[in-house]
Amino acid sequence: MAKFSKQEKSWMMYDWASSAYSIIITTAIFPIYYKTVADNAGVESSLSTAYLGYTIAITTFILAMLGPILGTLADYKGMKKKFFFFFFLLGTGSTVGLLYVPSDNWLLLLIVYVLTALGARGAGLFYDAFIVDVTTKERMDNVSSRGFALGYIGSVIPFVISIAIIILSQMELIPITVITASRIAFLITAVWWIVFSIPLFKHVKQEHYVEREPRIVISSFKRLAQTFRDIRKYKPIFLFLLAYFFYIDGVDTIISMSTAYGTDVGLNATDLIIALLAVQIVAAPFAILYGVLAKKYGPKNLLYAGILVYTFICIYAMFMDSILDFWILAMLVATSQGGIQALSRSYFAQMVPKEKSNEFFGFYNIFGRFAAVTGPLLVGVITQMTGNSSIGIFSLVILFVIGFIILIFVPDPRNTERVDADNKIAF
């Protein structure tokens, strides 16, 4: 990593730090733990999966509504890191709070989970916007992809420690229950997240900003309104966001509900966790590969490839009935999960005006999070109606198809310039 600057490396390390939350809370251990808690409370399996989908939808809706407003405020000088720190504390603090929820109180567990998700995703919004402060347009694809790769590599360590504790407790080789072992995993997540976020706090600062004005809250709403009035000047940006809305919906839904779905089709927790660990390991080099190939073939073509892979995943999931099928799907996810997320982030960052990066990443958040409302909600409703979660997963195909079609009409940022500070049309 010697070729990267201190600021770039410090920024990328936050992917390393926060990825523990992504794998342990969002994807792997928490969903299985939640299913256990719901089962202890007597909630039917397909219903508990639906409730998880509804909770994810509610959480993302809240943050989506706040995103552009918070982003506009954070564009003022000295504000970006303050907002980042607030959501960072909310996320890490509530993750520790998961330890204290009774093992049969599924509703309280979901409420605390909402707080962890708001913190993690809120901090992630401002973290993503920091990319314009730490690197150049030409290096963004590579820096963003390396960040995701670091995230996958870094997440393996706390994940392995966590699943080792859980498996040892299952085998009764250590004197704790699986419930306690899962809670220890949540504590490990919070500690990992805190410790490896320190480089960002020390070395990353807001380089691009809007000078502070009197009554900044009112001024922020006026700036936000001006952006909407000037929306035609930002047409390529919002066209990309529309495409992103659809395809990232499917990606996020598969990530957040994969283990709950695997449980519904009869896979045991150990098999699921080991498969997800393999995803983290395999995904790291593929995230880097996406960044390398993007330089040669263009980020847009790599986004097309990722969308096609996920479309196939949704179709194949209809027929999944064994651990082998889950492994095949897991490896397919590993090839494209990090790449499609990393290139989406850098593709967008290359298009937006630097001094308004938080505001525009607020829109990036609102489109991504509203998308993450519809996907889990769609899966939840269809699963509850049919009693078959496979049909719910298959329904995500339409989202990838629509996103692919819209993306065709988005210009390549390598062939355009940003909108400048005076909001003049630069595309």
What domains sit in the chain, N to C, each tagged with a CATH number?
A: 8-415 (1.20.1250.20)
Q: What local confidence, expressed as pLDDT, does residue 272 receive? A: 73
* 302-327 per-position pLDDT tens digit: 999 999 999 998 888 777 777 777 78
Q: What local confidence, expressed as pLDDT, does residue 421 receive? A: 41
Give dist(CA 152, CA 174) in Å, integer: 28
- Among 132-141, 232-241, 378-387, where is mean pLDDT lowest? 378-387
pLDDT at 203 over 90: yes
Mean pLDDT of 4-23: 92
DSSP letters of 322-383? SHHHHHHHHHHHHHHHHHHHHHHHHHHHTTS-GGGHHHHHHHHHHHHHHHHHHHHHHHHHHH
pLDDT at 425 over 50: no
Q: Kindly give the interhelix angle for 80-97 and 178-195, rounded to the nearest 10 degrees.
A: 160
**Which percentage of the chain shows pLDDT scores above 70?**
84
Cβ proximity of 375 and 247 under 8 Å:
no
- Among 3-7, 83-87, 326-330, where is mean pLDDT lowest? 326-330
42 φ, ψ (degrees, to nearest 5): 85, 20
Number of H-type helices and E-type strands within the chain: 17, 0
Q: Which residue from 11, 297, 312, 273 is spatially nearest to 160, judged by alpha carbons?
A: 273
Cβ proximity of 10 and 200 under 8 Å:
yes
Q: What local confidence, expressed as pLDDT, does residue 426 receive? A: 40
Q: Which residue from 113, 61, 107, 46 is spatially nearest to 392, judged by alpha carbons?
A: 46
* 229-280 per-position pLDDT tens digit: 665 677 888 899 889 988 988 887 777 666 666 666 666 767 777 777 788 7
Mean pLDDT of 39-60: 79
Q: What local confidence, expressed as pLDDT, does residue 213 receive? A: 62
Q: What local confidence, expressed as pLDDT, does residue 206 receive? A: 80
Mean pLDDT of 48-54: 80
| Phi-psi region at 419: left, alpha or beta (left = phi > 0; alpha = psi -120 to 50) | beta
- Dihedral, 158, 161, 164, 168 alpha carbons, nearest 10: -130
Give dist(CA 153, CA 253) in Å, integer: 22
pLDDT at 186 over 80: yes
**210, β-bridge pairs:** 76
Q: What local confidence, expressed as pLDDT, does residue 423 receive? A: 40
User: How close are the terminal C-alpha atoms of the chain, in Å?
Assistant: 34
Q: How many Cα atoms within 13 Å fall on the side-chain side of residue 122?
A: 28
- Residue 388: count of CB within 10 angstroms of its CB: 15
- Residue 1: count of CB within 10 angstroms of its CB: 10
Cβ proximity of 403 and 244 under 8 Å:
yes
Mean pLDDT of 407-414: 82
Predicted confidence band at 111 (pLDDT cuts at 50, 70, 90)? very high
* Mean confidence (pLDDT) of the chain: 82
